[in-house]
Amino acid sequence: KSDLISFPIYKFTSKPFGFILIHEEVPGIPDTRYALLDENGDGKLNGNERLDSKNVTEFSQHQWGVYLNRAWVINKSPSMGSVLSQKSVLLGDVIFGIGVKGLIHQLGSHTGTGFGLDAGLRTLFWKRVQAGILIQDVFTSWLAWDNGTKEIVTPRVSVGISGNYDLPLIPITLGLMADIIIESEEFRMGMEWTIKENIQIRFGRNETGIISTGLGLVWSDIEISYALQFEPEISSLGNSHLLSFSINPKLIMSKISPPLDN
């Protein structure tokens, strides 16, 4: 089970921060540590040994994550129509962004906390093609558990490219994206067809090879998305269904506090 909420923060700054809150839960995990009928006392399940179902209990796993990010334009492209823009149509704005993340991980009776920092750079080519580089866990991230165990996450570099193209003669825009993780050479890719600006059909593959497909309904202030993720045959979890709903906060505020007529 996964839950996510995100919104921009405009207060106290001229440019907004992005705020994301994530919660993931795996309930009902069997705990068999004290259920083994260990005849030879070696602590392993051997031969005819079995588990005593009366001693099998359950525990849950919870993860809470907070992500705060901000972006800056560090090289703004010339305005359209200027002499410089006509000579430099290749490169658009260069945007630099950073994200600070915090994590609380609860596994049964144990709790771990951790922090990390991400940084990225993105630019636009030919008005429709974007290229970028992302460094996750720039200074190495860590997760410290209450029993003294520490998990270390080393930096990971990804490069990617995306773009969109209007298909001739039919009202469909095709969007494509792909990126690769340099260290492991794993890659992910996605494809999206936008039909009459409101309907989006999506296909994708993540870095572990899992395929997904989905549908999006998009309006100016509201978006509803559904995705079906096909788990591999060796997985016992079954396919995953993801449903997301987003709404422009300004639309909510306009309904709560409509503008006063003069």
124 and 187 co-located in one domain: no
170 and 150 co-located in one domain: no
Domain range for 230 = 164-262
225 and 199 co-located in one domain: yes
4 and 130 co-located in one domain: yes
In terms of pTM, does the model score above 0.75?
A: no
Q: Is residue 36 part of a domain?
A: no
Q: How many domains does the chain have?
A: 2
Task: Select from 154, 174, 196 the last residue of a domain.
Answer: 154
pLDDT of residue 45: 65
131 and 181 co-located in one domain: no
Q: Is residue 120 part of a domain?
A: yes
Q: Is residue 107 part of a domain?
A: yes
143 and 64 co-located in one domain: yes
Token duo for residue 40: 């030879």
pLDDT of residue 41: 65
pLDDT of residue 84: 41
Q: Is residue 244 part of a domain?
A: yes
Averaged pLDDT, groups of 10, the chain, 262 residues long: 82 80 90 73 67 83 95 70 45 84 94 95 84 92 92 91 82 82 82 88 88 92 91 74 83 72 54
pLDDT of residue 29: 87
Task: Select from 154, 181, 206 the last residue of a domain.
Answer: 154
126 and 1 co-located in one domain: yes
DSSP string, the chain: -EEEEEEEE-TTSSSPEEEEEEEEEEEEEEE-TT-B--SSSSSS--TT--B-GGG-EEEEEEEEEEEEEEEEEEEPPPPTTSHHHHH--SEEEEEEEEEEEEEEEEETTEEEEEEEEEEEEEEEETTTEEEEEEEESTT-EEEEETTS-EEEE--EEEEEEEEEEEPTTSSEEEEEEEEEETTTTEEEEEEEEEETTTEEEEEEE-TT--EEEEEEEE-SSEEEEEEEEE--TT-SS--EEEEEEEE-HHHHHHHHSPPPP-
pLDDT of residue 87: 41
Q: Is residue 51 part of a domain?
A: no
Task: Select from 154, 172, 187 the last residue of a domain.
Answer: 154
Decide: 243 and 226 in contact? Cβ < 8 Å.
yes
228 and 181 co-located in one domain: yes
CB atoms within 10 A of CB 56: 14
200 and 222 co-located in one domain: yes
CB atoms within 10 A of CB 252: 11
101 and 220 co-located in one domain: no
- How far the first Cα of the chain sits from its last, in Å, is 48
The vertex-250 CA angle with 247 and 252, nearest 5°, equals 65
Q: Is residue 237 part of a domain?
A: yes
pLDDT of residue 176: 83
pLDDT of residue 88: 45
118 and 222 co-located in one domain: no
187 and 112 co-located in one domain: no
